[in-house]
Structure 1
């Protein structure tokens, strides 16, 4: 059986994160804390012998990945590949809005409460439904983009490979929700690590949102 291990890292804090704004396909640079988030993730992952490294095509994910790879024992920043399919959910009209305000429009007190009360899958559909421009992704559109992206990463790997993916909070929470029964109503922390094992195309979640514990 072919097995590949995926290490998903949420990018460091951005200015839009700091100001509690919705940030999907829109982008913002990392704050000083965000750079520290990336450096800390790099320290924790330094001894993981990555065979490949990917980041979504946003600057926040690529900057995070490059900081991680700068101290990795196996790869360097020059080895980073971009994976546009693994970018964040497209929030459409809601991009850049205060996250609590956006959640209230959709019927919840906060973004985390929206996921808790309706599920993360339904939250995708609600953003699409309430977007007057219909640019937001619903759940089907989100997965039509993300699943082939994940599968392409796995297909390009060899048996036993460990792969770094620098990506986004809602994307990580959506992946964990799809492949496990783990509660994803709490935020994925900036710089946190989530690990998946893929065996013959079957995805399982080893851990989610690890910010302090030992990584393996």
Structure 2
């Protein structure tokens, strides 16, 4: 079956505002972040969602609740929170200033910024380099990250409530949405621009295909 997945980046948090890495840690939504969620809710108010998923972080849950409460269609689905949809885990670098963390990851390889790592080595290297730099080795490697994310999409594909053509709400995270775009988007998307808080990215998901071919990008960062 083909599912239409409306992936929303959660509203702005205080860690977003302070430019700090935020993976599995939680920071509350700012007032702007609540507005981000409400704006996304208005944008998606007429979409008849048959299922709704988010990570088990409070920033994703609060964003999801505000979007679903604004939905004007007759049947609002029950929200499913699951750890498979969490943002990348940054391990020792959770909560640290982003520029300093990416310098620590990239400098041993001659790259001083996140964008430079991506340009020279690919997006997967940002995860592997950060794990190398983590003194506890807790940060997710690229392989560990994708194994978990693929598990989340398997949950959606196996949802018995869904039928061909249904719409699914997914509250996601900035780096995860960017990672999905790098993996599945064709040409014509400016991936130097991170998805904004409260923005909507739409994927069509063919549940009959293996994950590496399952997603087609419909729109990005709207």
Q: What TM-score do the two structures reach when normalised by structure 2?
A: 0.88
The 2-side partners of 1:134 and 1:46 are apart by 42
The 1-side partners of 2:192 and 2:49 are apart by 30
Alignment gaps of 5+ in structure 2 = none
1:145 to 145, 148, 155: 148
Q: Secondary structure at the match of 1:9?
A: strand
Which residue in 1 is equivalent to 2:201? 194
Which residue in 2 is equivalent to 1:97? 96
The 1-side partners of 2:29 and 2:21 are apart by 15
Q: Secondary structure at the match of 1:51?
A: strand
Which residue in 2 is equivalent to 1:214? none
Q: Secondary structure at the match of 2:216?
A: strand
Report how many residues are paired.
Answer: 208
Which residue in 2 is equivalent to 1:206? 218
The 2-side partners of 1:49 and 1:162 are apart by 6
Counterparts of 1:8-87 in structure 2, within 5 Å, are: 8-74=7-73, 75-76=75-76, 79-87=78-86
Which residue in 1 is equivalent to 2:180? 175
Deviation at 1:79, TM superposition (A): 1.6
Q: Confirm or deny: 8 A CA contact 1:112 1:186 kept in the other structure.
A: no
Q: What TM-score do the two structures reach when normalised by structure 1?
A: 0.91
Q: Which moved more, 1:78-87 or 1:33-42?
A: 78-87
Counterparts of 1:148-159 in structure 2, within 5 Å, are: 148-156=151-159, 157-159=162-164
The 1-side partners of 2:18 and 2:115 are apart by 16
Q: Which runs of 4+ in 1 moved over 4 A?
A: none
The 2-side partners of 1:34 and 1:112 are apart by 25
Q: Secondary structure at the match of 1:4?
A: strand
Alignment of 1:119 with 2:131, yes or no, is no
Deviation at 1:84, TM superposition (A): 1.2
The 2-side partners of 1:113 and 1:24 are apart by 21
Q: Secondary structure at the match of 2:171?
A: strand
Alignment gaps of 5+ in structure 1 = 211-216
Q: Confirm or deny: 8 A CA contact 2:10 2:173 kept in the other structure.
A: yes
